[in-house]
Amino acid sequence: MGKRLEGKAAFITGAASGIGRQSALRFAAEGALVAVVDVNADGAAAVANEVVGAGGKAIALRADVSSEDEVATAVADAEEAFGRLDVVFNNAGIMHSDDGDAEATEETVWDLTMDINLKGVWFGCRHGIPALRRSGGGSIINTASFVALVGAATPQLAYTASKGAVLAMTRELSVIHARENIRVNALCPGPLRTELLMSFLDTEEKRQRRLVHVPMGRFGEASEIAEAALWLASDESSYVTGTDFSVDGGLTAAYVTPE
C-alpha cells in the first residue's frame, strides 16, 4: 500500500505548534510535500527541519494570516516550490486570554480574534482555491471548534463567534466549489491538551469545568486531530465535503440533539 498523500503538496498554517505541527509531521510521513506556515518564522523553520530530519520534504514560510498580502505571497511561494497545491489546511488561530463574555471582551480582543481566526481562514481560501483549481482540485480543511456547535462553559465569546463563522463559511464554500473537485470541510476539535488551551484554562478548576462535559473524561491530543486532518486531506474522504467533522471525545454527542 502506498503512502496516503504521495505526490500531494500541502499548505498548513499555524504549523509551528499544536495541531499544525503534528499535521505537518503526519502529512510528510505519508508522502506529502509540506509548506510549514506560521507567523513565528523560527518555529516554522524548526518544524520544517524536523520534517526533513525524519526523511520528509518541507519548506518554512513566514506569514501573518491576518494579512492578505502575506497569505497570498505564502501560497504563491508554496505553489512555486512544489509546482502545485493539493491541500490547504487553514489551521492558524488564537484564543486570547482576555476573551470573555459580551460585557468583558474588549473590542480590540474581538477584532484581533476575528482578524486571525476568521479573516485568516477567508484569506487562505481566497488564495488557496485558485491554486487547488490549477491542480485539478483538492481538499481545504478549516479548523473550527466544538464551540461552533455548542456554547463554551468558560466564556470566550470572540473565539466562539469566530469559529461559528468559520463553520458557516466552510459550508457555503463547499457548495460553491463541489463541482470543481474542491472539497471544503471544517475540523471541530474538542478540548485539547495544547499550549493554546492550557494557557487559557490556566487553573485546575477551569480545566475540570471543561472536562466534566467530555464523555471520555480527558483532553484530546493534537496528534489525534492530525489523524483526522490526514483523512480529510487524503483521497479516502473523496465524497466528503461541507462537514463539521467533530473530533471531541463525545462532547457534542452529549449536548447536541438532532433537529
pLDDT per position as a tens digit, 135-177 = 999 999 999 999 999 988 788 999 999 999 999 999 999 999 9
Domain boundaries, the chain: 9-246
Question: What's the CA gap between 142 and 54, in Å, rounded?
Answer: 26
Based on the number of CB atoms within 10 Å of its own CB, is 240 exposed (0-12), middle (13-18) or buried (19 or more)? middle
Q: Is 255 annotated in the active site?
A: no
CA atoms of 15 and 125, how far apart (whole Å): 17
Of 20-24, 217-221, 249-253, the range with the highest mean pLDDT is 20-24
Tens of pLDDT, residues 26-39: 999 999 999 999 99
- Is 143 strand, coil or helix? strand
What is the pLDDT, as a whole number, of residue 258?
64
**Domain 9-246 CATH superfamily:** NAD(P)-binding Rossmann-like Domain (3.40.50.720)
By CB atoms closer than 10 A (0-12, 13-18, 19+), residue 126 is: middle
CB 4 within 8 A of CB 237: no
pLDDT score recorded for residue 144: 98
pTM, whole model, 2 decimals?
0.95
Q: Quickly count: other Cβ atoms within 10 Å of residue 245's Cβ.
A: 20
Q: Which three cell numbers stand for residue 143?
A: 479548523
Q: Is 160 helix (H, G, I), strand (E, B) or coil?
A: helix
Helix (H) or strand (E) holding 12: strand 9-13
Task: Pick the catalytic residue from 11, 159, 200, 219.
Answer: 159
Integer Cα distance of 76 and 59 in angstroms: 13
How much is the average pLDDT of 79-86? 98
Single-letter amino acid code for the residue at 174 = S
Residues linked to residue 95 through DSSP beta bridges, in sequence order: none
